[in-house]
Amino acid sequence: MNIDNIEAFVYIIHYGSYTKAADILFLSQPSVSARIQSLERELNCKLFDRIGKQIQITEEGKRFLPYAQQILMTYQKGRLHVNQKKSLPEELKIGCTVSVANYTIPGVLSRLKPMFPNTHFKLVTGTTDDMIGKVVNKEVDIGFVRNISHPILQSTPFYEDPIRLYVYEEHPFLSMDKVTIEDIAAEPLVFFECGALDWLRVHRMFGNLDYPPNIQYLTDNSETAKKLVMLKSGISFLPSLCAQEEVRSGKLVPVRLQESEIISLQTNIVSCHGKHTPFIEAMMRIGKELYDKRNHIELLYK
């Protein structure tokens, strides 16, 4: 019996629809439907009935649900015993930067919870340095931080978030064949930076100019930067993940710039060596799917 099919079944029950389960699993709705059909063939029964646009679990589905949940739990516990040989914790404390809390963690935790239904998740936010200290002092179990190397912590790359130039709808740049650094420097700039070394690379793009860029606003809050751009107060370099909803709705538009193509923010997962392996492995799988999905969105705007 395929564990992915069972996972799809449990997610549909947990979130109440095929569509929501597909979003959380980063799959298409037909892929989720195919997993359920495969599971129904294996069980030789129907698990859901459709009533208009609504779905309703069948009596057979209700009887199978506790076993499906137990199978997922047993699978995760088995992975834990293979890797760590100890029980799952009742509470997992996760520390992260504010940007990760805003744009990444909700999607990660919504997928993680059905996989570890008996574990409660506690989330705290702070700077990268704060989170490193909390992991070292065992105040949090796992930290999502900027790219770092630490002598006593395990640090695993989670995802890279490209930094792009964003403008408001109908900005003059959108009608230009090519935008130059000189063009950008002359525009009112909303400069968002979070202290990472990669933001120095954004500054350096203007280093060969005879005059400084026209920075009108400085902020360490991406939401503030986005709103200033949408209010047409200026344009801004922003991490792609924080702007994806506004890009979909047309409120922000990315402008391609060759000089910024290689600039990105890397987020790592840090923990004490050998600790919480099942959770980290699950998070890495989720991160890969998130990264692949984001890459697909990025391709739409190339």
pLDDT tens for 31-42 read: 999 999 999 999
Q: Is residue 142's pLDDT more than 90? A: yes
Terminal CA-CA length for the chain = 41
> Which of the four pLDDT bands, split at 50, 70 and 90, describes residue 201?
confident
| Cα distances (angstroms) measured from residue 180 to each of 87, 93, 230 | 56, 45, 22
Q: Which of 74-83, 167-176, 284-293 has the highest mean pLDDT?
A: 167-176
What is the C-alpha to C-alpha distance for residues 55 and 26, in angstroms, rounded to an integer? 20
CATH 3.40.190.10 maps onto the chain at: 160-264
What is the C-alpha to C-alpha distance for residues 269 and 281, in angstroms, rounded to an integer? 10
- For domain 160-264, the CATH superfamily is Periplasmic binding protein-like II (3.40.190.10)
What are the pLDDT digits (tens) for 86-139? 556 789 999 998 888 988 899 899 989 988 888 999 999 998 888 988 998 889
Note the Cα 163 to chain centre separation in Å: 15
CATH 1.10.10.10 maps onto the chain at: 3-83
According to the model, what pLDDT value does residue 290 have?
67
Give every CB contact of residue 73 below 8 A, 6+ residues apart in sequence. Answer: 116, 117, 118
* DSSP tally for the chain: helices H, then strands E: 12, 11
Q: Is residue 296's pLDDT more than 70? A: no
Give every CB contact of residue 12 below 8 A, 6+ residues apart in sequence. Answer: 18, 21, 32, 36, 48, 55
Kindly write down the DSSP assignment for every residue of 106-153, as one continuous string.
HHHHHHHHHHSTT-EEEEEE--HHHHHHHHHTTSSSEEEEES---TTE
Name the percent of the chain lying above pLDDT 70.
Answer: 89
What's this model's pTM, rounded to 2 decimal places? 0.65
| Cα distances (angstroms) measured from residue 183 to each of 193, 213, 230 | 21, 10, 19
Q: Copy the structure tokens of residue 125.
A: 């936010």
Crossing angle between the packed helical segments 18-25 and 29-43, to the nearest 10 degrees: 110
| Cα distances (angstroms) measured from residue 173 to each of 76, 96, 234, 240, 256 | 50, 35, 12, 18, 10
Which helix (H) or strand (E) is 185 found in, with range?
A: helix 181-186
> Which of the four pLDDT bands, split at 50, 70 and 90, describes residue 85?
very low
Residue 135 near residue 271 (C-beta atoms within 8 A): yes
Please give the CATH number for the structural domain made up of 3-83.
1.10.10.10
According to the model, what pLDDT value does residue 90 have?
86
> Which of the four pLDDT bands, split at 50, 70 and 90, describes residue 292?
low
What is the C-alpha to C-alpha distance for residues 59 and 187, in angstroms, rounded to an integer? 63
Q: Decide: helix, strand or coil at residue 41.
A: helix
> Which of the four pLDDT bands, split at 50, 70 and 90, describes residue 182?
very high
Higher pLDDT, 11 or 216: 216
Q: Is residue 69's pLDDT more than 60? A: yes
Q: Which of 201-215, 230-244, 278-292 has the lowest mean pLDDT?
A: 278-292
Residue 20 CB neighbours (<10 A)? 16
